[in-house]
């Protein structure tokens, strides 16, 4: 089951989820269910009930749910209920007390 709530219009996704539209405008997205595949967007929020198994790329990613895979973003925020396994590539990383993280962390400056 794939559940995503968009703050703007909903584009079509022939393979995986991508919020890139014809003019390359990236959209904001909230993930409330299970996604098995790659996601790209401007701001992606993984809600507590959401999970992603795949690569996630965005300017900002806020995680309350579960992500297994590679995360690439300027800003990554792991909230207290987050469960993350994989790799993190970021400029800024915030980890709130209670978040569970088993990941290789690589800052952009490295």
The confidence score (pLDDT) of residue 51 equals 95
Residue 101 CB coordination number (10 Å): 16
The confidence score (pLDDT) of residue 100 equals 97
**What confidence tens digit (pLDDT) does each residue in 25-45 have?**
568 999 999 999 999 999 999
**What confidence tens digit (pLDDT) does each residue in 66-101 have?**
999 999 999 999 999 999 999 999 999 999 999 999
First to last CA, the chain: 37
């Amino acid at each position: 089951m794939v559940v995503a709530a968009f703050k703007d219009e909903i584009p079509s996704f022939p393979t995986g989820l991508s919020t890139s539209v014809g003019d390359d405008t990236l959209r904001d997205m909230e993930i409330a269910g299970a996604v098995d595949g790659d996601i790209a967007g401007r701001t992606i929020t993984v809600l507590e009930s959401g999970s992603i198994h795949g690569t996630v790329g965005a300017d900002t990613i806020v995680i309350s749910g579960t992500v297994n895979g590679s995360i690439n973003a300027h800003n990554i925020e792991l909230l207290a209920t987050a469960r993350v396994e994989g790799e993190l590539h970021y400029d800024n990383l915030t980890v709130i007390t209670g978040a569970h993280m088993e990941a290789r962390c690589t800052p952009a400056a490295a």
